[in-house]
Amino acid sequence: MSCTSSSPSAVSLTRNAVSRFRRVTNRGFTLVELLVVIAIIGVLVGLLLPAVQAAREAARRIDCQNRMRQIVLAAHNYESAAKRFPGYAGEYAPLAVDVGSSPVRLDKHGVPWMVQVMPFMEQQQLSNNLGRICDTVTGANPVQASDYQFIEAVVPQFYCPSRRDAKSYPLVTPFTDKFGPYGARTDYAMNGGSALSVDPNNAGVSMEKAGVWQVGFRTAMKEITDGTSNSFFLGEKNMNPLRYKTGTDYGDRTPVAGFPEYFGASNSYVRYIARGPESDRPNSCRACHDFGSAHPTGWNSVMTDGSVKIVNYNADINILKALASIAGAETASLDD
């Protein structure tokens, strides 16, 4: 008898075991199990998404701060060359801002502060062309279509990535009549000083103490007697979030090229501290006078010494007004 032979019953048992094994191993997920797995994945994604969005916003905010710091460093280089900070270029005072007896010098014709700092931001050629356009095409006279490229030319440092892409946006009348359909913008504004708002729901404000940007002349370093670390230089400007890209926000209608002969041109790049800080919101009367931002907790500012500060939306208005003035004999700090 062979030692390898098997009985019929043993073979049958082996075949039954293999068959049962195959049935067990071929069994797939049930519908309930699949739904449970999908639900778990959905919950995990829901928990992770806010963290991802927060991380992205944090990165955008840091990028925004770095861009603003570059602008202020360029302004310091401008000051080293010109002995005054960039600023007034013959513009009218911002609309609905009572600047008192500050002299409006319509004889002083030039480009706004954004163009003034361009040579110190590796944008010498663009600055030259915008200066040429300003000098040769005065008043409401239209520029040549061949110059539209300079009106639309974007300087990325002038945009906050949390708010909108760095590109040109539509213009509205009377800017379309002079500059064509599109123009580059800035999300940042120079500090015009502290102001008084009699009615918080009214757009108009009255200036109390001067800031770095002043009607009539450009500010010298020696005139900032409160100290450069205690004086705002630049901040994010308040805007209507429904109008970031439409060109219809009264505080954003002027292209970077400027339009000194037009009433309200400076509303697009000068802001004041008159009311408590707030984030960008629709239909706000503050959009053409106050600082603000698209960030959830506060707006970025840069002091005149180049240090970056975050202004929380619950910040004390008296401290902010003290920081807005350059010669008010205050020593307030956001760290207080």
Please give the Cα distance from 167 to 72 (Å, whole number). Answer: 21
Find out whether 69 and 160 touch, Cβ atoms under 8 Å.
no
Using one digit for the tens of pLDDT, what is the confidence trace for 118-159? 999 999 999 999 999 999 998 899 999 999 999 999 999 999
Name residue 227's amino acid.
Answer: G
% of the chain with per-residue pLDDT over 90: 69
Q: How many C-beta neighbours within 10 Å does residue 141 have?
A: 10
Indicate whether 277 pLDDT > 60.
Answer: yes
pLDDT at site 15: 56
Task: Give the SS3 label for residue 42.
Answer: helix
* Paired tokens of 246: 């439409």
* Paired tokens of 258: 């400027």
Q: What is the mean pLDDT of residues 218-229?
A: 96
pLDDT at site 172: 97
Using one digit for the tens of pLDDT, what is the confidence trace for 53-109? 788 999 999 999 999 999 999 999 999 999 999 999 999 999 999 998 877 766 667
Indicate whether 3 pLDDT > 90.
Answer: no
Q: Which residues contact 184 (CB under 8 A, 6 or more apart)?
A: 151, 152, 153, 154, 155, 158, 167, 168, 255, 256, 257
Q: How many C-beta neighbours within 10 Å does residue 248 have?
A: 14
Half-sphere exposure of residue 32: CA atoms within 13 angstroms, side-chain side: 0
Indicate whether 250 pLDDT > 50.
Answer: yes
Residue of 105 and 221 predicted with greater confidence: 221
* Paired tokens of 86: 């960039």
Q: Which residues contact 323 (CB under 8 A, 6 or more apart)?
A: 230, 231, 232, 273, 303, 330, 332, 333, 334
Please give the Cα distance from 298 to 315 (Å, whole number). Answer: 9
Q: How confident is the model at residue 171 (pLDDT cuts 50, 70, 90)?
A: very high
Find out whether 210 and 326 touch, Cβ atoms under 8 Å.
yes
Q: How confident is the model at residue 273 (pLDDT cuts 50, 70, 90)?
A: very high
Task: Give the SS3 label for residue 311.
Answer: strand
Please give the Cα distance from 89 to 134 (Å, whole number). Answer: 11
pLDDT at site 22: 53
Indicate whether 198 pLDDT > 60.
Answer: yes
Q: How confident is the model at residue 7 (pLDDT cuts 50, 70, 90)?
A: low
Beta-sheet pairing, 205-210 with 188-196: antiparallel
* Residue from 307, 290, 300 nearest 203 by CA: 290
Q: What is the mean pLDDT of residues 290-316?
A: 95
pLDDT at site 20: 54
pLDDT at site 55: 86
pLDDT at site 27: 60
pLDDT at site 30: 85
pLDDT at site 100: 85
- Looking at every residue in the chain, the average pLDDT score rounds to 89
- H or E element: which one contains 79? helix 31-82
Indicate whether 50 pLDDT > 90.
Answer: no
Please give the Cα distance from 64 to 152 (Å, whole number). Answer: 21
* Residue from 330, 320, 329 nearest 271 by CA: 320
pLDDT at site 331: 77
pLDDT at site 1: 45
Burial (0-12, 13-18, 19+ Cβ within 10 Å), 279: middle
Q: What is the mean pLDDT of residues 240-268?
A: 95
Q: How many C-beta neighbours within 10 Å does residue 284 have?
A: 21
Distances (CA, A) of 249 to 125, 246, 270, 294: 29, 8, 14, 15
